[in-house]
Amino acid sequence: MLSQADNEFLTRSGKGTPMGELLRRFWIPALLSEELPERDGPQKKIRIMGEDLLAFRQTDGRVGIVGPHCPHRGANLYFGRNEECGLRCSFHGWKFDIDGNCIDLPTSPPESSYKDTIKLLAYPTREWGDMIWVYMGPRELMPELPQLEMALVPASSRFVTKKWQDCNWVQSLEGAIDTSHFSFLHKVLATDEESARRAMSNAALGDQAKPDDRVRWVQNDPRPRFQVLGHETGLVIGGGRKTDSPDLYWRIAQFLMPNHAYTPAAFPGEVYYGQSWVPVDDVNCWIYSYCWQPERPFTNSERAKYRGGFNVHSEVDADYKPLRNRANDYLRDRSVQKNENFTGITGVSEQDAAIQDSQGPIQDRTKEHLGPTDIGIVEFRKLMMGTARRLAAGEAPNQPRLASRYAVRSGGWVAAPEKDLATVMAERFGHDRGYIGNQYGLGD
């Protein structure tokens, strides 16, 4: 458990808080590209880590993320015009570009240099991997974008969306890297073939359309043997479960600083899944969910499956709010809970959200009692809080400067019981040049 002070330290992300300042040293997703579909289109209100901002795509296609209030007399630029590479205030016509420069001041004499002294808050942006990223830290320390593999593959080989969640971002991320919960939260109860197929359609234990050995191994062994390895940009969290032989079934997850995590299911040739958490404020967050297949494009039927809510993806409305949510009790069905799956809720993403939201807007970690399967949670907190404390003491985090080291993978493997996680990773990832094996000197 944490002290109340440590719980506040871990979960608060506003400007000036230790964790908020740490998050601001990294590029983070701010929007999906599809949310700003047209040049000179309507600007969009967004809120990130407690800061109210406006996003707009200007005439040349570039995206700006700026403060909402005109520096003249505070009018909200949401009511302004997006025109000719800038936002023009509707009050007195002052105009600003995506870098916050005042490029037109029609209320001052043409020869005046006054506009050169006026600045609008503006954050750097990059559009990459079907997302718009923002950097909210010191300009002079702006790093390169993290080289997540989902953004390195062709657009035809990835699918990206997002969903709203009604809780603090940390407890949602902790739920994702706690892979022991798969033995219960996503458990399939159905025994007849049709019910099992229906329950398994979102089981997030692989891409199989029906139950297989891996699903059974996860459900039958709720006490995986966990090991955690730190690397340059985060943590590898491995859990080994019993199989039908002496071998162990390893499920290897990734946490990448400060807010990305990959699911542990994929075998070679299967689809990889990941998520990135972005605090809206301290009690709400956006979760950017994505999947990619490095070896081929996705089919239309696969994309339809993801849009309908599969694995980390949620079925959402036009505003990216899940159709099954806290307000409607996630459409839980007690009959389904009794006969088909452990929660009575359809969708792995929704099952996760129901439990994470149920912990409260901000989980009270002073009352928790951790056990052996929580080692990944402990190491995550140590890494995040330790890095934030060092930053507060003047030591900048190193991870933002290691953009290429974010090109890692998660996944599953079966290995002999005497092999440790590092050895298992050498077998699973050693052939993936440039991926996690090489971080340990295990690759070629």
Amino acid, res. 110: P
Dump pLDDT digits (tens) for 369-391. 999 999 999 999 999 999 999 99
pLDDT at 437: 43
The DSSP letter of residue 249 is E
The domain that holds 92 is classified in CATH as 2.102.10.10
Same domain, 405 and 306: yes
User: Does the pLDDT of residue 287 top 90, yes or no?
Assistant: yes
For residues 182 and 218, give the distance between their C-alpha atoms in angstroms, rounded to a whole number.
Answer: 7
pLDDT at 357: 96
Same domain, 133 and 157: no
User: Does the pLDDT of residue 442 top 70, yes or no?
Assistant: no
Residue 122 lies in a domain: yes
Residue 9 lies in a domain: no
Same domain, 287 and 343: yes
Q: Are 310 and 332 in contact (CB under 8 A)?
A: no
For residues 59 and 289, give the distance between their C-alpha atoms in angstroms, rounded to a whole number.
Answer: 29
pLDDT band at 306, cuts 50/70/90?
Answer: very high
pTM of the model: 0.92
Same domain, 153 and 284: yes
Give the domain range for residue 77. Answer: 27-141
Boundary of a domain, candidates 141, 164, 185: 141
Question: How many structural domains does the chain have?
Answer: 2
Boundary of a domain, candidates 141, 158, 186: 141
Kindly state the helix (H) or strand (E) to which residue 293 belongs, with its residue range.
none
For residues 321 and 133, give the distance between their C-alpha atoms in angstroms, rounded to a whole number.
Answer: 20
Q: Are 404 and 25 in contact (CB under 8 A)?
A: no
- Angstrom distances, CA of residue 6 to CA of 9, 18, 25, 364, 386: 5, 11, 21, 11, 11
Same domain, 195 and 215: yes
Same domain, 108 and 154: no
pLDDT at 197: 54
User: Does the pLDDT of residue 286 top 90, yes or no?
Assistant: yes
Residue 17 lies in a domain: no
Same domain, 114 and 158: no
Q: Comparing 159-163, 360-364, 420-424, 434-438, which segment has the lowest mean pLDDT?
A: 434-438
pLDDT at 184: 84
Residue 194 lies in a domain: yes
For residues 212 and 441, give the distance between their C-alpha atoms in angstroms, rounded to a whole number.
Answer: 33
Q: Are 223 and 217 in contact (CB under 8 A)?
A: no
For residues 266 and 205, give the distance between their C-alpha atoms in angstroms, rounded to a whole number.
Answer: 8
Tokens representing 88 are: 């023009």
Residue 12 lies in a domain: no
Same domain, 118 and 258: no
Tokens representing 23 are: 């998050």
Across 111-131, average pLDDT: 96
- CA atoms within 13 Å, Cβ hemisphere of 182: 29
Same domain, 347 and 371: yes
Boundary of a domain, candidates 141, 175, 195: 141
- Angstrom distances, CA of residue 8 to CA of 20, 64, 364, 393, 436: 11, 32, 9, 18, 33
Across 189-208, average pLDDT: 55
pLDDT band at 198, cuts 50/70/90?
Answer: low
Residue 224 lies in a domain: yes
Q: What is the mean pLDDT of the chain?
A: 92
pLDDT at 203: 53
Strand ranges (DSSP E) for 355-444? Answer: 411-415
For residues 250 and 252, give the distance between their C-alpha atoms in angstroms, rounded to a whole number.
Answer: 6
User: Does the pLDDT of residue 223 top 80, yes or no?
Assistant: yes
pLDDT more than 70, % of the chain: 92
Residue 171 lies in a domain: yes
The domain that holds 427 is classified in CATH as 3.90.380.10
Q: Are 72 and 58 in contact (CB under 8 A)?
A: no
Same domain, 284 and 350: yes
Q: Comparing 13-22, 149-158, 216-225, which segment has the lowest mean pLDDT?
A: 216-225
Residue 5 lies in a domain: no
pLDDT at 434: 43
Same domain, 80 and 164: no
Angle between helices 4-11 and 375-392 (to 10 degrees): 80
- Angstrom distances, CA of residue 66 to CA of 71, 87, 233, 320, 432: 12, 10, 29, 22, 40
Across 72-90, average pLDDT: 97
User: Does the pLDDT of residue 21 top 90, yes or no?
Assistant: yes
For residues 421 and 324, give the distance between their C-alpha atoms in angstroms, rounded to a whole number.
Answer: 37
User: Does the pLDDT of residue 206 top 80, yes or no?
Assistant: no
Dump pLDDT digits (tens) for 128-183. 999 999 999 999 999 999 999 999 999 999 999 999 999 999 999 999 999 888 88
Same domain, 163 and 137: no
pLDDT at 49: 98
